[in-house]
Chain A
Amino acid sequence: MSAVRLPAVLVWIVILWVLLWGNLSIANVVSGLVVAVVVLLFARTGMERSERRHPEHRARLSPIAALHFLSFFLFKLVEANLVLAWEIVTPRNRINTGIVEVPLRTESNFATMLVADVITLTPGSLVIEAEGSPPVLYVHVLHLHDLERVRRDLLRIEELSVRAFGSPAARSQLAGSTP
């Protein structure tokens, strides 16, 4: 299911805690650890299960790929905003809406979620449904002119996200089926 491991959650909670209090002190880190342990003890996050999985299937963060993914996402965000702004300020209407079916290759929910989030966060495109395993995304697109190009763009996001956060197994599977 999830690709995030328990220690990562623990660290994340402590960081969040320190950020919420607004100053980094030993007391805040220690209390953050306590809070993290209490939250994870009493509230089940559903992430504990990933610990039990085979190492091949465990998610692994690859920092360089993650940076790559992040910069790609930011680039896409800026680009989409500019395109939309251009669309609004110019009198010409290039809008041609439609729904594109994008079959993904990864089975990882986490990767799927990242892809869907990126798509939805960039203006002009929106995930309206996801089903099946491996999932098929149905994406509403504002500027639908070249179907294959849209698909290729979206699959590129998937590839980058798996490279950044996927398990070794997911990566090799992706490598085997590169279009």
Chain B
Amino acid sequence: MLLTILIFHFLLGGAVVAIGDRLGRRGFLFAALAPAVTMAWLATKLGSVRDGNAIQQRIEWIPQLDLAIDLRLDAMSAVMVGLVSGIGIFVCIYALGYFSHPKPGTARLAGLLTMFAGAMLGVVLSDHLIALFLFWELTSITSYLLIGNDDRNPRARDAALSAILITGSGGLAMLAGFVLIGQSAGTYRLSELVDAAPGGSTVTVGIVLVLIGAFTKSAQLPFAGWLPGAMVAPTPISAYLHAATMVKAGVYLVARLAPPLADLGAWRTLVILVSSATMIVGGWRALRQHDLKLLLAYGTVSQLAFMMLLFGMGRYDLAQAGIVVLIAHGAFKAALFMVVGIIDHQTGTRDVRKLHGFGSGWHPVIITSVLAAASMAGFPPLLGFIAKEKGLDAALHADFSGGTAIVVVLVVGSILTVAYSGRFVLGVLGRLGESDRQRISPTAPAPTAWFVAPAALLALGSLAAGLAPVLVDETVRSATESLYAAAKPKPVVLWAGFNTALLLSAVIIVAGLVTIALRQRVERLQHGFGDAVAPWPDSDRVFWGIVTGTSRFAKKSTGIVQNGSLPIYLMIILGVAAALPLVPALTSFETWPDTIGTWVHVPIAAVIVVAAIGATVVRRRIAAALLLGAVGFAMAGFYVVQGAPDLALTQFTIETLATVLFVLVLRFLPRRFADSKAAVTTAARLAVAGLVGVTVFVLALVSAGARSDVSQTSISAEMLERSVPDGKGSNVVNVILVDFRGLDTLGEITVLVVAALGAVSLARAGRRPSDRRRDRSASGRGFAELPLVDASARLLYPSILVLSVYFLFAGHNQPGGGFVGGLTAGAAISLRYIAGGVAAVRKSFRLAPWTILGGGLTISALTALVPLATGNSLLEHAGIAWDLGPLGTMKATSALPFDIGVYLVVVGLVLMAYEAFGDEHAPETSELPEAVTS
């Protein structure tokens, strides 16, 4: 059921995104369905979960690696699920009012919001660290899309990028930490980690990495910069992601891991240092803001640090307070964001200096904001008060070093919280409005009841839970017990009697009120302080410095590594490829093969040697290409002598096509090889060429004598033996290609397709747009317009194609096959090209080259996959015989469609080659990189 709920979220979200703008703001109605269903389901299970009966579900993922999606709903998860889905419903209703005039992309927000909710539920339900990481990064990605939804706004794009880079890289650090901790604990399951109690220096490193992940997600210093930036997102999104749910993922993780890890090495120190600083700096900055939303954002940073401190100490009483804060914060922060959204929506501004109070009909908004802000400030009798009081009380009884420091930080941070809460209320009331600004707000229309209701309900909830803490007591108790099995939590009450915590609360409230009263002096102090720290780099500047620095470094290093010189690339690739296998090849070399097998070999070898040497010494490119062709044809001669007509046929067709293509490309290059000026280059080239030659020679020798453990004849004998019964074909070469080694072939044609696409895009990229126009107008003229060749080509063309089809079909039992067939068809295409240029080639097939190419690959891949669907292994072929009555029986194997795919890929490849290099107009010589011509 747990997984079903997650999948439901993703499916619903995907559907809403897919339907898109036709839904408009109604998208949020559909989006509300997912959290509503989740809440309804949770309500039926809550009782048993509270009693300690966690709901578990395990879906195997990669059993070999012990990877599984373990989902587990215990009381702590239930609190988070309630937060995510409960506030989700409120946000969706609120969004209906907020997006009263939906723009394009509004419905997409609704869909992404649902997917985000699914990912967030995944985080809080995952019992397996790796699965948790997966959902964690999913929340980062959906958050990125939500912040950057208004993709025309550069600020939104920057903010989205900054958010995903910071939280994403934090997530990666966390993954590394998970692996370290998981490996040393022997389990990746959260529920088992508590008893596993890992230790050691590995775990310390792991802890630091995991905390980095949690700190980035929950916007702790120095990673806090992304959260205020994310406020460019629409307010419902900010309220949901950046106040109530996603930023709490880090807190949640700390809450989960603190019980087993808090007493180990770096954990507590790190949390105290980072979160203390964050709580105070966040509060201080919030006090400085004019933008109400930014004020709340910095306030959130501060409150998140508060929760980190409570959860991160590994003590159940602090954690219990943390759970209360979690709930209280979710309610009041969402309500406050909604109020800001309402003000923004009705007046068009969120700047306190432009607000001068509101007219009649605004009372519900004002009451809501006062209630919610009072809860944030920790005024009795609201839930925020209880939470803070409990936190103070637990910190006062802390039994670890640093406990006093936490009390001080909590007091100072809370004074700042009271102060910025006051600033918020004063801003909403219009007390901070500057007189020289236009008075917009007093005449602003009051929001509709539906628009205010979600915020008002949340604020009233804070009040109700504060007056009657019994509402949350049971949940908080069971959640605390699910984190700390040995916990003896005291009940959550409004009145805990006269104690130190109460005294501190009073001090906080009074000091906070004094800060509000003296706000002008505080402001001057802040200005002075701001000026003093201005020259220091802040996290935002550091972040963008790193980003631009990285891309500049990438650009520079790319310039060095990829300098555009083809000879250098080739030398490096060939040099490495030749040097690496040389040593192992030499060591495995055992015996020299027979010098001469048959005397027929001698003349053929002579041709090869002469042509190969000739290719290295001739100065004319075309001559070199032709000599290489001669080498290839002579190799085909060897195949014939050895009794491999299939290989010979393939080699012949390949050599023919390769020679034609060579000539095509060579038209664009100077006739002769340029003389290299530098002796160093020549020496280097000679060395690489020699190395390649030696390696190939040695490899040939070794492979001829290789597999001494298995007798060579037995391999080929086995293939011959199994060809007909297993491969249903008597052409062993073809059976090997499409059946025994079919996966290799599939990989090869995939590479071919990629290479063809790359070649065409490279060739096209070098062309100017004006060239392209010229091509179209001049495409009627051929490469060499020979009427005689044209007429012959037209006559021969269908005949050669028929031959190629014959090769394709006959290939399984006789010489031929898809590869040879495709190459033969390629020869026919070449004939058309010679007669009529690229225009004739384009005309010669009804389908576009890329369609043929992609179609072929698709057919082959599908043929390979079909056996999987029926429960057989990949590429398993079946023989079929149809009785066609008077026509006899037609025998076919499923290897045939695979071969057809190969055929089409080869044909497409040839067409692509002409498309890339066959144009009449040579690229401007100046556009050719120097390296190619030298």
Contact = CB atoms under 8 A, between A and B. Distances in A.
Interface string B292-327: 000000000000000000000000000000000000
A150 interface: no
B794 A39 contact: no
Interface stretch (A44-52, A67-75, A152-160): A44-52
Of the listed residues A36, A45, A109, the one surrounded by the most CB atoms of chain B closer than 10 A to its CB is A45
Nearest to B890: A27
B805 A109 contact: no
A120 to B, nearest CB: 9
B798 A39 contact: yes
Interface in A1-57: 1-2, 4, 9, 12-13, 16-17, 20-21, 25-27, 30, 35-36, 38-47
B826 to A, nearest CB: 12
A2 B802 contact: no
A110 B796 CA distance: 12
Contacts of B798: 9, 12-13, 39-40, 43, 45
Interface majority SS (helix, strand, loop, mixed), chain B: helix
A118 to B, nearest CB: 12
Nearest to A41: B846
B794 A45 contact: yes
Contacts of B887: 25-27, 30
A38 B825 CA distance: 14
B799 A46 contact: no
A156 to B, nearest CB: 19
Given A4-B795, A110-B791, A42 B845 contact: yes
Contacts of B890: 27
B411 to A, nearest CB: 82
Nearest to A29: B887
Contacts of B778: none
A130 interface: yes
Nearest to A111: B791
Interface string A114-141: 0011000000000100100101000000
Contacts of B847: 42
B846 A44 contact: yes
Contacts of B886: 26
Given A27-B887, A39-B802, A130 B787 contact: yes
Given A13-B799, A43-B798, A135-B787, A117 B792 contact: yes
A127 B840 CA distance: 24
B792 A43 contact: no
A123 B633 CA distance: 26
A112 interface: yes
A166 B22 CA distance: 65
Interface string B792-835: 10110111011101100010000000000000000000000000
A113 interface: yes
A101 B464 CA distance: 110
A72 B113 CA distance: 85
B884 A27 contact: yes
A167 to B, nearest CB: 14
Of the listed residues B786, B805, B843, the one surrounded by the most CB atoms of chain A closer than 10 A to its CB is B805
A46 B843 contact: yes
A86 B183 CA distance: 92
- Range for the number of chain A residues in contact with chain B: 35 or more
A15 B194 CA distance: 81
Contact of B803 (A20, A30, A47): A20
A2 B888 contact: no
Contacts of A4: 795
Contacts of B794: 1-2, 45-47
A20 B806 CA distance: 7
B795 A2 contact: yes
A77 B592 CA distance: 53
A4 B795 CA distance: 8
Interface in B88-139: none
A21 B846 contact: no
Contacts of B846: 41-44
Contact of B791 (A20, A42, A113): A113
A43 B801 contact: yes
Contacts of B486: none
Contacts of A117: 788, 792
Interface residues of B, number: 28
B790 interface: yes
Contacts of B779: none
Of the listed residues B806, B810, B884, the one surrounded by the most CB atoms of chain A closer than 10 A to its CB is B806
Contacts of A44: 843-846
A11 to B, nearest CB: 12
Contacts of B845: 42-44
Contacts of B844: 43-44, 46
A75 to B, nearest CB: 23
Contacts of A135: 787
A113 to B, nearest CB: 4
Interface in A46-94: 46-47
B884 A113 contact: no
Contacts of A45: 794, 797-798
A127 B787 CA distance: 12
Nearest to B825: A43
A16 B88 CA distance: 72
A39 B803 CA distance: 11
A91 to B, nearest CB: 32
A39 B796 CA distance: 13
Nearest to A45: B798
Of the listed residues B799, B801, B803, B844, the one surrounded by the most CB atoms of chain A closer than 10 A to its CB is B801
A165 to B, nearest CB: 11
Contacts of A109: 787-788, 790-791
B791 A112 contact: yes
A16 B786 contact: no
A1 B791 CA distance: 8
B528 to A, nearest CB: 81
A47 B788 CA distance: 15
Contacts of A41: 846
Contacts of A113: 787-788, 791-792, 795
A41 B805 CA distance: 14
Nearest to B842: A44
A2 B798 CA distance: 14
B825 to A, nearest CB: 8
Given A2-B794, A43-B845, A127 B806 contact: no
Contacts of B802: 13, 16-17, 20, 35-36, 39
Contacts of B790: 1, 109
A13 B847 CA distance: 21
A56 to B, nearest CB: 20
B787 A27 contact: no
B831 to A, nearest CB: 12
A1 B887 CA distance: 39
Contacts of B806: 17, 20-21
A109 B845 CA distance: 22
A38 B794 CA distance: 17
A2 B884 contact: no
Contacts of B843: 44, 46
Nearest to A46: B794
A25 B888 contact: yes
B31 to A, nearest CB: 48
A112 B787 contact: yes
19 contacts: A1-B790, A2-B795, A4-B795, A20-B806, A25-B888, A26-B886, A26-B887, A27-B884, A30-B887, A36-B802, A42-B847, A43-B801, A43-B845, A44-B843, A109-B790, A112-B787, A113-B791, A117-B788, A127-B788
Given A42-B846, A43-B846, A46-B797, 7 more contacts: A2-B795, A17-B802, A17-B806, A21-B810, A27-B888, A30-B887, A117-B788
Interface of A: 1-2, 4, 9, 12-13, 16-17, 20-21, 25-27, 30, 35-36, 38-47, 109-110, 112-113, 116-117, 127, 130, 133, 135
The 9 closest A-B pairs by CB, nearest first: A113-B791, A109-B791, A27-B887, A20-B806, A116-B788, A46-B794, A39-B801, A109-B787, A113-B788
